[in-house]
Structure 1
């Protein structure tokens, strides 16, 4: 949700124009220029210094669109700034709607994207000064974000970003995840080179690196992260079955132990898949909620339609399907060959697949 704030006569007209074009925005402007229809439209009026209003809105909205001079905005928001991961996007529009300026949280907060959107609505010129956007190159802090990729840590985001925009040798190693991450209509800059493996990249001695993998790196590979960022794409599909009443602790332990044995990262789990009889299985629901993993359910008929290596008459007698974890993992991932066909541990049965491509 965005807030649009105006304090001048012309600014109010721009805000009202955005009211019609941004359905998810809340409009705020000074009562000095009230039109009389604000209550009907749900437009908020305020009196007094806008500085006090901004202090309230800063933490309440995902983004602020301010039709106020840039210098005034900088002075007013300066005491409110906390962290680029939590500060809202701030966009400024001049009083004639000729320029829309990305001011704060351009990448992580989405101000650059919002600037382009608002500029398009107003037929204005977007003003974006973020180096990676201007140079049409990779934004390290946003790399793979649209696909749900996660950083392993953020310590090297700034130096790696500097290497990218300063046209130093930057290596990309991608072992898994979506491949259509380059969205510009120009070629990838020549300073960014792709390598087939971490070992190959290390041999090339790059100045910085972007590594995209679901694997836990081996000791001899970790040097790539001295000035590198490790991204975790969502590619691990877990098929799971369990006895009724199995605790969340046991289910979680089996998943963690299994992925550790496979040398896979928990951050790369894309989904848990099981039979629809488990829709009310509290332990399974608790684990999915804890890690924010989608929990996918299939009917017995859907599972039986998937060829499996180890059908079980016993499982069929209980749930009507010849398997749960194996066919569930295969069905969701679209893979016939699994990384782990089936492993039984206590009350839990687990299968693991790697997802490839778009869904």
Structure 2
């Protein structure tokens, strides 16, 4: 917990480029939801609204006036999203303002989550772009009052934010952003993930060129690259990362079955080994699916809370509706379903094929599939 004292700048633990701050009961409820929909922000709220899962979800609690927290946030974060009244935010940040080239972006969200307002550093600081992306992620209306809005192109550091995409590394965000803004040849390769990421009412600019494969993008010798994939890059593909950014869409569904009382460490080890076997990124895991008999399984609950993964369970009848590649009479005898990990993953992902058929390791059985983006996942 962060204790705030007059005249002291608190020590904070920054993990992501943006900070999300709430100070009211309703604001905290919304903020907890926003943090899942917009994974680029560290969440801060007052200790009196503690719910017990903050450590597992990397939520930071503070005790004292939020005014005393803001100086540290100003120093550390690229942008600050406040679920606080506009007037209060203006008064609190006024003493902290230095220069429009240095000040972070500041946004305000109303207590009901209806509007997202760009308050400070609209263009240079990126508040206008952040306003649009954050509003889209939470289903609110963006409010931007500058005379000319941001350039209608891809915001590299927020690309796919409304879908929960995460970049692998921030190292090349700035030079790749420069290539996009300066209309240099930028290659885009999308192997998986949501396809409706272009949000403007005009065609994609000619300098942003889509390629059907990474190999074709390499042959084109672009000045920068945006790669949307859940795969771990192969050595020969890394030439694009000399000035490129890899985005991880939420495209992988883990079907999990386990014996009662299986520890989180064992479950996570099986997941890590299975993802490594397929050369898939853990950042692209969208959800964990299982049978409803496991809905209160401690190890699974701890794991999904640790990574903010949705944990979805289905009845035996729902699982039996899915055509199974490896039905089991033994599993049916104990659960009423002819399989758990395979049909659970396939049902959630609306997938017809598995990337990994059920694999048993110790107390855990795992199957992996990829979300079918032609049909909405359920």
TM-score, reference length from structure 2? 0.68
On the 8 A contact 2:119/2:127 being kept in 1, the answer is no
Whole-angstrom distance in 1 between the partners of 2:300 and 2:220: 45
Deviation at 1:223, TM superposition (A): 1.1
Residue 265 of structure 1 corresponds to 281
2:96 matched residue in structure 1? 77
State the shift of 1:333 in Å.
1.0
Which aligned pairs between 1:97-246 and structure 2 lie closer than 5 A? 102-103=120-121, 106-107=126-127, 110-111=130-131, 117=141, 126-127=145-146, 134-246=150-262
2:134 & 2:275 partners in 1: Cα distance?
39
Q: Which consecutive unaligned segments of at least 5 residues does structure 2 have? A: 1-25, 28-64, 74-79, 110-117
1:126–1:254 distance in 2 versus 1, CA, 3 Å: same
Deviation at 1:303, TM superposition (A): 0.8
CA distance in 2, matches of 1:303, 1:84: 52
CA 1:341–1:254 in structure 2 vs 1: closer, same or farther (change >3 Å)? same
Contact 1:177 1:212 (8 Å CA) reproduced:
yes
Match of 1:314 in 2: 330
Contact kept in structure 1, 2:189 and 2:226, CA below 8 Å: yes
1:108-167: CA deviation from partner (whole Å, max 9, x where unpaired): 993467999575xxxxx82166xxx53311111111000000010111111111100101
| Structure 1 residues 107 and 351: CA distance shift in structure 2, 3 A | farther
Does the 8 Å contact 1:89/1:109 carry over to 2?
no
Contact 2:81 2:108 in 1 (8 A): no
Distance of 2:222 and 2:269 partners within structure 1 = 38
Q: Which has the larger radius of gyration?
A: 1
* Aligned counterparts of 2:368 and 2:169: Cα–Cα separation in 1: 25
State the partner residue of 1:326. 342
Q: Closer, same or farther in 2 for the Cα pair 1:198/1:84, shift >3 Å? A: farther
In the alignment, is residue 89 of structure 1 matched against residue 82 of structure 2?
no
Please state whether the residue corresponding to 1:134 is helix, strand or coil.
coil
Name the CA distance, whole Å, in 1 between partners of 2:310 and 2:103: 28
How many residue pairs get aligned? The number is 291
Distance in 1 (alpha carbons) for counterparts of 2:66 and 2:315: 51
SS of the residue corresponding to residue 97 of structure 2 reads helix
Give the structure 2 partner of residue 20 of structure 1.
none
Q: Offset at 1:73?
A: 9.4
Residue 3 of structure 1 corresponds to none
How far apart, CA to CA, are the structure 2 residues paired with 1:112 and 1:323?
43
CA distance 1:228–1:77, shift in 2 (3 Å): same
1:128 and 1:77 mapped to 2: Cα distance? 25
Check 1:197–1:54 CA distance in 2 against 1; reply closer, same or farther (3 A cut).
Answer: same
Aligned position for 2:264? 248
Deviation (angstroms), 1:356: 2.1
Q: Which residue of 2 aligns with 1:293?
A: 309
**Distance in 1 between residues matched to 2:351 and 2:251, nearest whole Å:** 12
SS at match of 1:322: coil
Residue 329 of structure 1: how far off its partner (Å): 1.0
CA distance in 1 between partners of 2:99 and 2:178 (Å):
27
What per-residue deviation string (whole Å, max 9, x for no partner) do you get for residues 195-243 of structure 1? Answer: 1111111111111110000000000101111111110000001111011
Q: CA deviation at 1:307?
A: 1.4
Aligned partners of 1:108 and 1:141 also within 8 Å: no
Instruction: Give deviations 1:298-326, integer Å, cap 9, x for gaps.
Output: 01111111110111111111111111001
Offset at residue 103 of structure 1 (A): 2.4
Q: Which residue of 2 aligns with 1:14?
A: none
TM-score when normalising by structure 1: 0.72
